């Protein structure tokens, strides 16, 4: 991936992103979403605790973005961008952490709110596409909130089953892609 300043004649100061292998395929940062504009990215880079995916996740995310660019699928890039923005906003680094953030919103009475819906959509997208590790950086999650009762344990198990199903589907998609390349 290459990043360059856009034209001096452009209305807004922004960066232009392109694939290293195909420099003619370009897209401006703000076209990917306002949070990928030059100003927003600089602010985020300045913050020490900014969201940073694991190396494996970063490689998968890069691959998903490259596939979408190759197919000129801006709607897929938009979904990826939205999911990454949500991960950054809520500091989510694994599928399990989505559940932790959603549980916090539930306790605050915000289960039907915009943040909750965004977390849900991002979790589903990231799990379906295998773009994040399953486990949280805090371990298996059982040590936190263990006294909260059985209803949360049931939701956690449902979430784990959804994640496993998404991983199986992702593995099947990879196998189909491999067969298609042969």
Q: Please check the confidence at residue 36 and state whether its pLDDT lies above 70.
A: yes
Does residue 62 fall inside a structural domain? no
SS3 167: helix
Q: Is residue 30 part of a domain?
A: no
Residue 124: partners with Cβ closer than 8 Å, 6 or more residues away = 162, 166
Confidence category of residue 98, pLDDT binned at 50, 70, 90: very high
In a domain, 66, yes or no: no
Evaluate if residue 145 carries a pLDDT over 60.
no
Is 111 contained in some domain?
Answer: yes
Residue 153, in any domain of the structure: yes
User: Under a CB-based contact definition with an 8 Å cutoff, are residues 36 and 27 in contact?
Assistant: no
99-122: per-residue pLDDT in tens?
999 999 999 999 989 999 999 999
The reply to whether 95 falls in a domain is yes
Is 15 part of a structural domain of the chain? Answer: no
Residue 182: exposure state from Cβ atoms within 10 A (0-12, 13-18, ≥19): exposed
CA-nearest of 82, 73, 140, 86 to 115 is 86
User: Containing domain of residue 80, as a range?
Assistant: 76-181
In a domain, 8, yes or no: no
Q: Mind listing the pLDDT tens digit for each residue in 42-57?
A: 776 665 455 678 788 8
Domain count, the chain: 1
- For residue 17, the model assigns a pLDDT of 81
């Amino acid at each position: 991936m290459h990043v360059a300043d856009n034209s001096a004649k452009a209305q807004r100061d922004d960066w232009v992103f392109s694939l290293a292998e195909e420099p003619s395929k370009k897209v401006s940062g703000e076209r990917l979403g306002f949070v990928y504009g030059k100003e927003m990215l600089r602010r985020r880079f300045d913050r020490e605790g900014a969201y940073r995916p694991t190396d494996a996740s970063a490689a998968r995310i890069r691959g998903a973005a490259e596939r979408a660019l190759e197919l000129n699928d801006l709607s897929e890039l938009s979904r990826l961008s939205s999911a990454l923005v949500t991960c950054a906003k809520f500091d989510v680094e694994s599928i399990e952490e989505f559940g932790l953030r959603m549980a916090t919103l539930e306790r605050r009475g915000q289960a039907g709110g915009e943040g909750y819906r965004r977390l849900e959509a991002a979790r589903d997208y990231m799990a379906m596409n295998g773009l994040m590790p399953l486990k949280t950086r805090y371990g298996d999650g059982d040590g936190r909130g263990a006294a909260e009762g059985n209803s949360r344990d049931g939701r956690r198990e449902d979430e784990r089953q959804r994640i496993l199903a998404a991983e199986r589907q992702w593995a099947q998609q990879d196998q189909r892609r491999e067969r298609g390349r042969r």
